[in-house]
């Protein structure tokens, strides 16, 4: 199965640019598990939309946010793909 999605905002820059179209390959996950850093496309759960997100947490891991950084099981996640540091205000809107 494939999904096509349009990038409407800057949330995935510098990896994906506004107005890009992307195509997903769901067949890849028939042969291997998803991993941290993968970009996935999926239907939004409560609206008629499509989400494009990066996997940061895996099964049985604890994800937390402290001082503008994401932590996985108390270890800071190195996110070289992030354009700028998050703020507590950003997390309140998730």
Catalytic residues, by residue number, are: 11, 53
Q: What is the 3-state secondary structure (H, E, C) of the chain?
A: CCCEEECCCCCCCCCCCCCCEEECCHHHHHCCCCCCCCEEEEECCCCCCEEEEECCCCCCCCEEEECCEEEECCEECCCCCCCCCCCHHHHHCC
Tokens representing residue 56 in the block: 């940061």
- Please give the span between the terminal C-alpha atoms of the chain, in angstroms, as a whole number: 28
């Amino acid at each position: 199965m494939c999904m096509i999605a349009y990038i409407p905002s800057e949330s995935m820059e510098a990896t994906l640019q506004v107005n890009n179209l992307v195509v997903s390959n769901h067949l890849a996950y028939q042969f291997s598990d998803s991993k941290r850093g993968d970009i996935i496309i999926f239907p939004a759960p409560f609206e008629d939309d499509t989400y494009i997100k990066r996997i940061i947490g895996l099964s049985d891991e604890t994800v937390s946010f402290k001082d503008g950084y994401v932590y996985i099981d108390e270890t800071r996640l190195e996110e070289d793909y992030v354009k700028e540091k998050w703020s507590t205000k950003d997390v309140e809107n998730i």
